[in-house]
Amino acid sequence: MAGIKFEIIKHIGVLSENAKGWKKEINLISWNDREAKYDIRDWDPEHEKMSKGITLSKDELDQLFIIMKETNE
């Protein structure tokens, strides 16, 4: 993506992989030199191209875990 700077601070895990080798990952990423946030999106094998995704703060990620736990009870 032109004009967007990113740095994957920590690779957390792969959620899935499609037939073309793109992987849906959760990572801790710093976008445009800002504070790192949790990020879920598809990446090409070289981590050069990406799909649209969702970025969450630590508080939002914690709230997501609470909601997911409640829905699984």
Q: Which CATH number do you get for residue 58?
A: 2.30.31.70
CA-nearest of 39, 16, 42, 45 to 26 is 39
What does the alpha-carbon distance between residue 14 and residue 40 come to, in Å, rounded to a whole number? 9
Domain range for residue 29?
Answer: 6-71
Would you give the DSSP letter of residue 48? S
pLDDT digits (tens, 9 = 90+) for 51-67: 999 999 999 999 999 99
25 in a domain, yes or no? yes
> pTM score > 0.85 for this model?
yes
1 in a domain, yes or no? no
pLDDT for position 51? 96
Number of domains observed in the structure of the chain: 1
Q: How far is CA 7 from the centre of its chain?
A: 12
